[in-house]
Amino acid sequence: MAMLESVLIANRGEIACRIIRTARRLGMRTIAVHSEADAGALFVQMADESHFIGPAPARDSYLRIDKIIEVAKRTGAASIHPGYGFLSERAEFAEACAEAGIVFVGPPASAINAMGLKDAAKALVQQAGVPVVPGYHGAQQAPDFLRGQADEIGYPVLIKAVAGGGGKGMKRVERAADFEAALESAQREAASAFGDPRVLVEKYVLSPRHIEIQVFADRHGNVVHLFERDCSLQRRHQKVIEEAPAPGMTPEMRAVMGKAAVEAARAVGYVGAGTVEFIADGREGLRPDRFYFMEMNTRLQVEHPVTEAITGLDLVELQFRVASGEALPFGQDDLAITGHAVEARLYAEDPEKEFLPSTGKLWALDFPEREELRVDTGVQTGDEVTPFYDPMIAKVIAHAPTREEALAKLADALGNTLVAGPKTNVAFLKKLCEAPEFRAGRFDTGFIDRNLDALGAVAHGMDAEAVRLGVLKLIDMEFDARSYHALMGNGSATSPWDDSDGFQLAGARRQGFPVAVDGERVDVVVQWPAPGDAHADEEVTVSWNGDASGMISDYLSSDMRGLVPTDEGVIVVRDGRQTRVAPYDPFDVDLAHLNGGNAVKAPMHGKLVALFVKPGERVEKGQRLAIVEAMKMEHALVAPADGEVEEISAEPGMQVAEGARLIVLRTEE
Ligand code: ADP
Ligand code: ADP
Ligand code: MG
């Protein structure tokens, strides 16, 4: 059967690049569509052709079915691959492709619909004999009724949006007294995120392990599974590290789970790549009678590379083959697991600030190259991480004969990954890979939350060594731009710090260097050797508060790769942590200080989606004032103290810049 002539990729970033790579290898013409924000993106450069579809916000571009179909028709695209996220699980999109006579690289619309709502999906697979989490997934939504159901199920319970995804609208409830408030907030979140307030209530499985099965089906009635992935390392119900196979999995349990997943796929007439997600009760290890269906994702999954690593298959190639009508080239018995694979999701976020998403220019992005180490990314040095889309920068995947070796390889790769610009979770991921309990295979979905301190996800103080290195780098940059002699005082000095208080001290020269360290002023003193000193280079010292000092020799022997020049100064990267050091600019004052700290500022670039207060209104400390949305996540802004709303300088729907003052409170004291 002939391979599809071409594919339009209705997605962006890392997954668009990944799809293009396989499509090109198969000889297909690759057609990208892009938003305004992505005009210069890597996937646009990689594709054979690229077409503009609208402004940056996804709803105006990547979610516009009409525009994408129009480009597909105009370019004669034989197929459309939706990637994940965006339109990948929208039945209307699959239907629109069919109507336009274009092959949708995914399941039939009917299968997407059948699995689209969690309640209906549970009912359907239960009929097919698949175990589901005990709970209520019926139509009744009255609070009293649902609380009655929760009492019967027994606490803790989990309230979930039936239309949910991305961990939104999900609330764990510990006791009956908290049920109503949790229900209300789950319904509110569900209504705003999915336009559907309906929820289901299920047993909260204890010591939960998220184990999912990759399935594949063709149009000829063949359905197989490609084994499991363990995605238990999560934060806010979102995956952080995934691996295959699952630690503690037995061949017996794998066979039972694989069969259940295949049954679920058969029950909806599935075609293509899909994932059946299960939650396993891990209190006594993995047991074949203690796993339950959660949902089916009717698309390729973010973590598919770990399955590719252990099976040696290219899942995107298989998707294209199945979409073009070919039969699966193997049966269940032909498949085997080779070694162990682990994937880490590198995010633009700040673990020291409760994982707040971080945006900005990537001044440096560099990954190590190793045998059986795979890096999937959609960005490169010089690109901007914008607030419009997912904060994922890259996926780093290690494959090795054993789990121990795969984790060691991944930890080493993360330790040698350089990112300067947006804050990232790279140091956090490395610590996760090295955590002894996780290494030993003792973990569940609560592991990250229980170990935030040990994993370094707490505010750290200033990195003194980074400041010393940064100052020396700034001086070094001046050396390049001007001349050594100018800075030594023999000539016309033009350094930005020249008019500060340089003075002579027994032949040596001391100079005050006010610098901004992550925006905070630090008064550094640099001591230069006397002019003409033979060891001049080694004797420059950097100190402040009298307690820290550094020598140029330390600087010269440090890893220069981690000293990244920017337009303002330098970013020093040490152990994955970034410190910004720049010449201090006295005009760059922080407005919040002028407001006695009662200004509520946007924590990041994003969109103000809700404002809960009006000028003159009284608020209590901790009260939610507004919500800013960035990178698919919502962040509540809360009142820093009791007080009265004095001023509001933004309105819902507005894009706001990081640090912008949105609300000013007049407080009591
Ligand atoms: P998965 O279940 O495939 O691991 P997640 O549950 O982590 O994915 O992702 C939540 C949602 O966000 C899913 O709908 C997924 O398709 C989407 N998503 C995740 N990462 C990206 C990305 N880089 N680009 C677009 N969509 C994404
Ligand atoms: P989403 O559509 O947001 O991916 P899921 O139903 O897949 O929603 O659940 C997301 C995560 O929430 C799971 O990976 C798991 O960690 C946790 N979870 C879901 N259901 C349960 C449950 N019944 N007990 C314990 N944890 C659960
Ligand atoms: Mg899920």
Instruction: Please state the rounded mean pLDDT for residues 487-500.
Output: 42
Q: What is the C-alpha separation between 90 and 116, in angstroms, rounded?
A: 8
Instruction: Please state the rounded mean pLDDT for residues 499-508.
Output: 48
Cα 192 vs. chain centroid, distance in angstroms?
A: 22
Residues 6 or more apart from 241 whose CB is under 8 A from it? 231, 233, 342, 343, 344, 345, 429, 432, 433
Give the closest residue (by CA) to ligand 2 atom 11: 237
pLDDT higher for 476 or 484?
A: 476
Ligand 3 (single-atom ion) residues, CB below 5 Å: 277
pLDDT in tens, 523-556: 888 887 766 655 555 566 788 876 556 666 677 7
pLDDT higher for 468 or 255?
A: 255
| CB distance 302 to ligand 1 below 6 Å | yes
CA torsion angle for 328, 330, 336, 338 (degrees, to 10)?
-70
What pLDDT shows up at residue 139? 93
Q: What is the C-alpha separation between 246 and 210, in angstroms, rounded?
A: 10
Q: What is the C-alpha separation between 324 and 270, in angstroms, rounded?
A: 15
pLDDT in tens, 281-327: 999 999 999 999 999 999 999 999 999 999 999 999 999 999 999 99
> Which candidate, 163, 241, 232, 248, places its Cα nearest to that of 198?
163
What pLDDT shows up at residue 548? 56
Helix %, strand %, coil % of the chain (to 5): 30, 30, 40
Question: Candidates 215, 390, 397: which one to mutate for ligand 1, based on the most atoms within 8 Å of Cβ?
Answer: 390
| CB distance 204 to ligand 2 below 6 Å | yes
Cα 334 vs. chain centroid, distance in angstroms?
A: 35
What pLDDT shows up at residue 499? 41
Residues 6 or more apart from 614 whose CB is under 8 A from it? 645, 648
325: its two tokens: 């009508």
> Which candidate, 373, 437, 442, 435, places its Cα nearest to that of 410?
373
In this structure, which ligand is nearest to the CA of 632? Answer: 1
Residues 6 or more apart from 669 whose CB is under 8 A from it? 641
| CB distance 631 to ligand 1 below 6 Å | no
- The answer, yes or no, to whether residue 482 has pLDDT greater than 50, is no
Cα–Cα distance list, 579 to 222, 515, 544 (Å): 54, 12, 17
How far is the centre of ligand 3, averaged over its atoms, from the C-alpha of 107 (Å)? 18
Q: What is the C-alpha separation between 497 and 493, in angstroms, rounded?
A: 9
Q: Between β-strands 360-361 and 223-235, what pairing exists: parallel, antiparallel or unpaired?
A: unpaired
620 three-class SS: coil
Cα–Cα distance list, 360 to 44, 385, 422, 589 (Å): 20, 5, 5, 21
How far is the centre of ligand 2, averaged over its atoms, from the C-alpha of 619 (Å)? 34
- The answer to whether the CB of 319 falls within 8 A of the CB of 105 is yes
Q: In what order do the strands lie in the sheet with 624-630?
A: 633-638, 624-630, 606-611, 655-656
Instruction: Give the least confident one: 42-51, 360-369, 628-637.
Output: 628-637
Residue of 64, 229, 254, 299 marked catalytic: 299
235 three-class SS: strand
pTM as predicted: 0.90
| CB distance 131 to ligand 2 below 6 Å | no
Q: What is the C-alpha separation between 467 and 517, in angstroms, rounded?
A: 7
> Which candidate, 118, 98, 128, places its Cα nearest to that of 162?
118
- Residue 90 is among the residues annotated as catalytic for this protein: no
Dihedral angle sign, alpha carbons of residues 374, 378, 384, 388: negative
- The answer, yes or no, to whether residue 630 has pLDDT greater than 90, is no
631: its two tokens: 């990178």
- The answer, yes or no, to whether residue 632 has pLDDT greater than 60, is yes
Q: What is the C-alpha separation between 93 and 112, in angstroms, rounded?
A: 10
618: its two tokens: 């009284």
Residues 6 or more apart from 547 whose CB is under 8 A from it? none
| Residue recorded with tokens 């009260």 | 623
- The answer to whether the CB of 215 falls within 8 A of the CB of 261 is yes
Q: What is the C-alpha separation between 614 and 77, in angstroms, rounded?
A: 51
How far is the centre of ligand 2, averaged over its atoms, from the C-alpha of 442 (Å)? 19
Total number of residues shown for the chain: 669
14: its two tokens: 């890392």
Residues 6 or more apart from 139 whose CB is under 8 A from it? none
> Which candidate, 22, 162, 169, places its Cα nearest to that of 105?
22
Instruction: Give the least confident one: 186-190, 428-432, 538-542.
Output: 538-542
pLDDT in tens, 91-104: 999 999 999 999 99
Element (H, E) at 667: strand 661-667
Q: Where are the beta strands (DSSP E) in 348-445?
A: 349-350, 356-357, 360-361, 364-366, 373-377, 384-385, 392-400, 418-420
595 three-class SS: coil
How far is the centre of ligand 3, averaged over its atoms, from the C-alpha of 629 (Å)? 21
